[in-house]
Each structure stands twice: as C-alpha cells, then as structure tokens.
Homo-oligomer: A and B are copies of this chain.
Amino acid sequence: MNAFMEDLVLHEDPRSGNCFKIRLTAALLGIPLERRQYDIMKGETRTPEFLRDVNANGRIPVLQVGPRFLPESNAACWFLAEGSPLIPQDRFARADMLRWMFFEQYNHEPNVATLRFWLLFVGEANLSEFQKGQITAKRAGGEAALAVMDEHLTRSDWLVGDSVTLADIALYAYTHVCEAGGFRLRDYPAICGWLDRVAGLSGYVAMD
C-alpha cells in the first residue's frame, strides 16, 4: 500500500505521452502504480463499459484512486504530487506552474502530440482529407509553442523556479518525442538542454 492508503491504477495506452506524464510523476516520487492497458487504435476507450465505469469522455489516461476515477493527465499529476517538491511552495510560482500546464493542453498537445499520433500511429497515407488539411496549421501551432518554451528556457533551467516541477513533466512528455511528429529539436537548443536535465533526474523512467 502507498501513502494514499488506496490502490492507484493508471488506465493507459503506453504509447500516449499524456499517460507517460503520470508514470513519470509517480516514478520521480517513488509512488507505485498498477497499470491497466487499452489500445486506443482499437477503440478500447470508447466501449460502453469504459464510458460508464472509467471516463464518460472516452479518453485515457484516467487515474483510479480506490473506487474513484480522475481523468485528465495534468490533474492526475497534480493529485500525485501535492505536498511534494514537484509543486512549488510559493503561491505565484504554483499558479505559474499551472499556467504552463494549461499552455501544454491548449497550445502544445493539440499540435505537437496530434501530429505525432497522425504520422507515427495512423500513418500519413491513412489520414482523412480533413486531417491532412490541418497539418500545416498544427505544424505552425506546434512550432510556436516550442518557440515560446525555448525562449523561456534560454533564461532558466526549469520552466518555473530553480528545480523541476509538474510544468516540466507535463511539457516534457510530448516534447521529447516531437520528432516523430516532424518537429526538429535541433531548432530549439534551449529545449535540448532542458530535455537532458529532465532525463537525468533521479528516478526518471523512459516512455515504453
């Protein structure tokens, strides 16, 4: 049993960066997680049972805490990390960390993660015309998000404060595999140094 006194089960697809965020948070904090795997390509998160029992929004990851279910990767990371050094003590810094986590879900993930999913798992030839028509905009949106991060990281080793926080973990997940979506990490030298710092953390685990 863990410090939460309840079983923690991660409902995940191991190819998903959103799921990896939670695994990485738990690993850095030494929290054991049971893993239950689904194949999103086979629609396993859209079955009636999944929608009823795990997440009515039909998405993974979901962190199960005893009998309760917590969707949204960044919320699950927050739940695991409260009270730990991964969340800053200072009130402004804590909000600033959440700022990067909302940025991640709004500006980064829909572009950087979606292009990886389309190009690596769906395959460009299998994309719908609608999807193909969005590639240029998602490329530009992803590059803009990476540029905002890179500019910030030229002035600071971590996104918030002097040490790793959930902001770094949330943005690391899809940034470190962004080349699978056609982005070029060598265009973002400050990001490259930061990726190395995250990968060097004690307790770090790699994505499957």
Contacts and interface: CB of A to CB of B under 8 A. Distances in A.
A109 interface: yes
A121 interface: no
Interface string A114-135: 0000000000000000100110
A123 to B, nearest CB: 20
A178 to B, nearest CB: 18
Nearest to A63: B95
Contact of A71 (B75, B94, B103, B137): B103
Chain A interface SS verdict (over half): helix
Given A103-B72, A130-B137, A95 B110 contact: no
A148 B95 contact: no
Nearest to A103: B72
Contacts of A99: 70-72, 75
A75 B57 contact: no
A65 interface: yes
Interface residues of A, number: 36
A56 interface: yes
Given A95-B75, A133-B130, A137-B130, A110 B102 contact: no
Interface in A62-110: 65, 68, 70-76, 78-79, 82, 91-92, 94-96, 98-99, 101-103, 105-107, 109-110
Given A106-B106, A110-B110, A56 B148 contact: yes
